[in-house]
Structure formats: structure tokens, C-alpha cells
Amino acid sequence: MKLNIALLAGDGIGPEVIDQAVKVSNAIAKKFNHEINWTPALTGAAAIDAVGEPYPDETHAICEAADAVLFGAIGHPRFDNDPSAKVRPEQGLLKMRQKLGLFANVRPTFTFPSLIDKSPLKRERIEGTDLIILRELTGGIYFGERGRKDNGDTAFDTCTYTRAEVQRLAKKGFELAMTRSKKLCCVDKANVLESSRLWRETVQAMEKEYPEVEVSYEFVDAVAMRLVQWPNSYDVMITENLFGDILTDEASVISGSMGLMPSASVGEKAKLYEPIHGSYPQAAGKDIANPLATVLSAAMLFEDFKLVEEAQAIRDVVNKSLAEGIVTEDLSEGGKAYKTSEVGDWLAENI
């Protein structure tokens, strides 16, 4: 297969972890006889510095032309401490999601047996956890009308959803559930919000198309609790943008392996893969960041192109590196800490 992949390394540790995913992907291409063309493009603070905005048109054109995007991380402390900054790296993220139509964010949370004791939760609570949150990513209060009134003394944001937006996300949820345990949980706040009532009635109406899927409906506050209490009681969850933002982050820390969690964001055509960790500026340039989340994001990429063996080969080599202690300092526990680049080299060689 021939794959054109746009490479958006972004800020902080982005470039370093992306490099390792490229090494590993190239090793996969070689072994399985594929051809990958990488096209780098600017994003985030790096793009603001170069051309004045975080998701330049040129970058968008490269992403649109590609079969998929591999993304590092964006965000820079310089902007966090400067409320007067007119252009912010995060705006690039939102613009990219919207312009590429990446309406579904796929966020798995799973455990690595060898890392289970890193979880803040007790072993018996976290063991066996393997869930996926599908977060709607291009609608809701993120993209609704907002503004000020009364000379700036009143602020408002609007959460809007259409039935079609709910349907396309829910469809992905039902389909994903069919490939797994056939359990789907719709997370909303239908006891208060009209948009949540639309979500719930839309999903309810779709149930009959997927008679094998057992659907449950839970309020977001209850889910925020149960994710901490019994995360292993969940499988596929679907939810709107803001609830998804909060719950995916909550879910990401319960496994204790946040540095290892990959993600995908997909649209009708576009596909983007990125680690869920941030740009971690303190570690930038030090060759110490853990590249595994980005490498596992590349595995998700291959899988979405039906290259299942290739994806599995990546997961296997990652597990092997964990078992053999070829890990960065965050996981080394007093043993030898390998550099980011060393881990990448080892993985590529062991493919």
C-alpha cells in the first residue's frame, strides 16, 4: 500500500516523539512492503512564530491532500501566561478539527499489565479496564455562538447540536460496539439540557438498527463517578464535545499510563492520529519524553487502513520494550532510563 502522511510535529516534545513514530512506521513499511511518503507541515506555536498563525492554509492543504495526519502536540507556556496574546496555539487545534471535519475523537483507555501499579487506583479497580470514549469533536459549545452583552458584564456560550451530527457520531459508536462487546453507553445530561435530550432521543431511535447492541444511558455526573469507581464496567461510550473533553481526560489518568495512550480523530474522509499527552514543554529538546503514545497512535493509523497485522506488530514491539525495560525515565523505576531516540531505534530494529 502507498500512504501519504502529513506530519505535524507541533510544539514542545512533539518533534521528538513524532520522530520515533516515523522510525517505527518506516520499519513497518519496509517489513510489510508499503510505501510511506511523509510531508511535514507547521502547526501550533511553531507555526505562529513562522507565519503568524497556528494552523496555516498551507498546512491545511497538506493535511487535506494526505491520506492521514500524524500529529505531535501543541501548546507553549509563553501563551499560557500572556492573556493579551491574540493568536493562541489551541485555536489552531480547533480550526484544524473543524476544517478537516474531524467529528469523532476516538480515545481508548486500557492497561498494560506491567504498568498497572502506576495507576492511582487500586489494582482490583483498574484491572481489565479496556474502554473507548467516542467524543464528538466539531460541534456543541466549542463551536456555537458566543459573546458579551451589557458592556462586557454578561458572557454567553451556546451549545447547539443537530440530529445529523448526533447520528454520524452515534453510528460510529454502534459500529465500534459491534466489533467489541456490543455494549454502548450514551453519556448526557438529559435531565437538564435540551441538546442532551436530542442526543438521547436520536440514539434511542437508532437502537433498532443495531438490535444486538445493548445501549445504556447515563448522566455525565454519574459517569464521572463510575469511571473512578469501576472503570472496567464500561466499554464503548459516546458523548458530546465538552463532556468528552472532561471524561476522556479523567479516563486517561486512571490507567496510570497516560504517557502511553494514543488517539484518533476521524471525519468522513480525514484521519488524524496523536498521543493524548500534551507538549510537555519542560522536557522539550531533552530527548527524555516517552514516545510510546505516539508510536501507538501510528498503530491506530495502520489499523484504520485495515493493516491489522502491521498495527499488531507495533503493539507487540511496544509490549516487548516494556517487558524488557527499554523505556524512558518516566517508566524506568530506578532501572536504566533510555533516551527517547534510543527507544525509537530499539522499536524500529525489533519490528
Ligand X SMILES: CC(C)[C@H](C(=O)O)[C@@H](O)C(=O)O
- What are residue 69's DSSP bridge partners? 6, 272
Return d(Cα 43, Cα 49) in angstroms, integer: 10
Cell (9 digits) for 168: 454520524
Q: How far is the CB of 33 from ligand X (least distance, A)?
A: 35
By C-beta, is 158 or 319 nearer to ligand X?
Answer: 158
Site for ligand X in 81-120 (CB under 6 A): 90, 93-94
- When asked if residue 82 is in the footprint of a second copy (CB under 8 A), the reply is no
Q: How far is the CB of 170 from ligand X (least distance, A)?
A: 20
Question: Is 57 labeled as ligand-binding?
Answer: no
- When asked if residue 245 is in the footprint of a second copy (CB under 8 A), the reply is yes
Return d(Cα 246, Cα 269) in angstroms, integer: 26
- When asked if residue 115 is in the footprint of a second copy (CB under 8 A), the reply is no
The single residue among 57, 157, 201, 221 that binds ligand X, judged by CB under 6 A, is 221
Catalytic-residue membership of 210: no
Return d(Cα 66, Cα 64) in angstroms, integer: 6
- When asked if residue 153 is in the footprint of a second copy (CB under 8 A), the reply is yes
Cell (9 digits) for 196: 442532551
Return d(Cα 112, Cα 93) in angstroms, integer: 29
For the stretch 250-254, contacts whose Cβ atoms lie closer than 8 Å and that sit 24 or more positions apart, written own/partner, are 250/224, 251/107, 251/109, 251/131, 251/133, 251/227, 252/107, 252/109, 252/276, 253/120, 254/109, 254/119, 254/120, 254/121, 254/126, 254/129, 254/227, 254/228
Catalytic-residue membership of 142: yes
Q: How far is the CB of 206 from a second copy (least distance, A)?
A: 15
Return d(Cα 261, Cα 65) in angstroms, integer: 27
Question: Is 107 labeled as ligand-binding?
Answer: yes
Asked if 199 and 166 count as a contact pair (C-beta separation under 8 A), the reply is yes
Kindly compute the dihedral angle of the four CA atoms of residues 135, 91, 198, 104, in this order, to the nearest 10 degrees. -30
Catalytic-residue membership of 157: no
Catalytic residue among 49, 117, 249, 316: 249
- What are residue 130's DSSP bridge partners? 110
Catalytic-residue membership of 189: yes
Options 13-21, 56-64, 86-94, 337-345: segment touching a second copy (CB under 8 A): 86-94
Q: How far is the CB of 284 from ligand X (least distance, A)?
A: 17
Q: How far is the CB of 74 from ligand X (least distance, A)?
A: 8
By C-beta, is 32 or 219 nearer to a second copy?
Answer: 219
Cell (9 digits) for 16: 521528538
Catalytic residue among 142, 234, 280, 338: 142
Binding site residues, ligand X, CB under 6 A: 90, 93-94, 191-192, 221, 245
Binding site residues, a second copy, CB under 8 A: 88, 90, 94, 120-122, 125, 141-142, 144, 146-148, 150, 152-164, 189, 191-195, 197-198, 220-222, 224-225, 227-229, 242-243, 245-250, 252-254, 258
Q: Enumerate the active-site residues.
A: 142, 189, 221, 245, 249
